[in-house]
Amino acid sequence: MEAAGLLGLAAAALLAWGFLRVWDSRERTKSQEQAGVLGDGSRTLLVIAHPDDEAMFFAPTVLGLARLGHRLSLLCFSAGNFYNQGEIRKKELLQSCDVLGIPPSSIMIIDNRDFPDDPSVQWDTERVASILLQHIEMNSINLVVTFDEGGVSGHSNHIALYAAMRTLHSEGRLPKESHVLPPQPAALVPPPLCALLQIHENQLPVLPLKP
């Protein structure tokens, strides 16, 4: 009986925690909307390094932005071929995006030797930056969502994307009215998994690319 009571208490605590997290996430979204940054019809680009990044690190953000009426597209810099499973992982990415609400016509997967799925290879920052900028300009993107400076998980390919975006920003090469949004916390991910995501709260606010 005592064990059942404890279990009930734990379930109640988990429910309360979940409610608070959802409430917090709604408040955060509201303040972002009030800042005039995230709006209905925004053309938003999610930039990832490998198939599965979209689900592991960005699913709550993607679903949240879709609810706000953003038109989402995705640019993936590799096929995720580290274990020679690139073709399978490309298909999985399309299936995952189908669940997240990103249509195949809005997905581009770069599959070339310049950007191998390999943490020991440093992707050329300028090469990544020029492809990113070309994609942003061609598709009139006004919000970019990508990794933070720690690559969330520390993978060097993730960090290369942050470095390229940071370069475009600091050199003033991005179109006016563009913004960058680092990953947001997964509102309903249990606390032990949240810790694994290594998301830094001070990196959550929307960072305007142009003052």
Q: In the complex, which residues of this chain contact Zn ion (CB under 5 A)?
A: 49-50, 53
Tell me how far, at minimum, the Cβ of 46 lies from Zn ion, in Å: 13
- Closest CB to Zn ion among 32 and 58? 58
Which residue, chain included where needed, has tokens 């005039």? 36
- Closest CB to Zn ion among 56 and 68? 56
In our burial notation (b when 16+ CB lie closer than 10 A, e otherwise), range 148-181 reads bebbbeebebbbbbbbbbbbbbeeeebeeebbbb
Give the whole-angstrom CA distance, residue 72 versus residue 119: 27
- Closest CB to Zn ion among 150 and 175? 150
Tell me how far, at minimum, the Cβ of 85 lies from Zn ion, in Å: 14
Tell me how far, at minimum, the Cβ of 52 lies from Zn ion, in Å: 7
The residue number with the shortest CB distance to Zn ion is 50
H or E segment to which residue 73 belongs = strand 71-76
Tell me how far, at minimum, the Cβ of 138 lies from Zn ion, in Å: 24
- Closest CB to Zn ion among 53 and 148? 53
What one-letter code names the amino acid at 100?
L
